[in-house]
Structure 1
Amino acid sequence: MAKYRVDITEPAENYLVDIVKYIASQWSAPFSALDMMDLLEEAMTGLSELPQRCPVIRDERLSQMGYRKLIVKNYFVFFSIDEKNKVVNVERILYVRRDWLRIL
């Protein structure tokens, strides 16, 4: 089985940093913030093997763009797959209650 390279875009990386900062400061839980970061990073790294296991988003516009969604606790990891180059592009990480259809 071919492995995929996982690339994390700048918006996704920035939101990951924001998640950690928010949990650490608003909840006064720095260890929980680091645990969440580790969990998200592990989930994204796991996309290197069989990223097709995550469904294509049902929205017509986003499905045409090839966006898929991975659920990690209270966050959605949005990504697309470049089959030709065997690359998974992590586009965004968003809190599940955000209006992600409008944001994406």
Structure 2
Amino acid sequence: MSSEKFTVLIYPTAEKDLFEIKEYFETTLKTSAIPLFEKFYASIDILETNPYIHPLLKDAYLQQLGYRMIPIDNFLIFYIVKDGVVQIHWFLYGKRDYSHIL
């Protein structure tokens, strides 16, 4: 088992998604997004030591780009592992058609 630690970067697109999720929870649902965000960050923490825990996406094009996905509640986190860095690109609502977004 490797003890290599990967750097995790949350890209601006993903930061924007997080902001929009937080706003949606607070303004539309009138509830806190904190429990969901705690799940997000717990899963992201695991990626520092085990970034390949989630398989490549089944879509051939997205697989070629190296995209992996973490399902959390009704959301999906999309990331790529490249050169010792976990690049988190998107936090998307699970029912969206993500293939044209990525």
Fold shared by both chains (TM-score > 0.5)? yes
Once the two structures are aligned, what percentage of the paired residues are identical? 28
Secondary structure of the 1:69 match is strand
Residue number in structure 1 paired with 2:98 = 100
Number of residues paired by the alignment? 100
The answer to whether the aligner puts 1:67 opposite 2:67 as a matched pair is yes
TM value normalised by structure 1: 0.90
Residue number in structure 1 paired with 2:28 = 26
Q: CA deviation at 1:45?
A: 2.3
Residues 72-103 of structure 1: CA deviation (Å, up to 9, x unaligned): 11111100001x3x110001110100110111
Q: Is the 8 A contact 1:48 1:88 kept in 2?
A: yes
Q: How does 1:1-104 map to 2 (within 5 A)?
A: 1-30=3-32, 33-82=33-82, 84=83, 86-104=84-102
Matched residues in 2 for 1:26 and 1:3: separation? 38
Matched residues in 2 for 1:45 and 1:11: separation? 19
Considering fraction of residues, name the structure with more helix. 1
Matched residues in 1 for 2:50 and 2:75: separation? 20
Q: CA deviation at 1:17?
A: 1.0
Matched residues in 2 for 1:25 and 1:40: separation? 20
Q: Which sections of structure 1, spanning at least 5 residues, go unmatched?
A: none
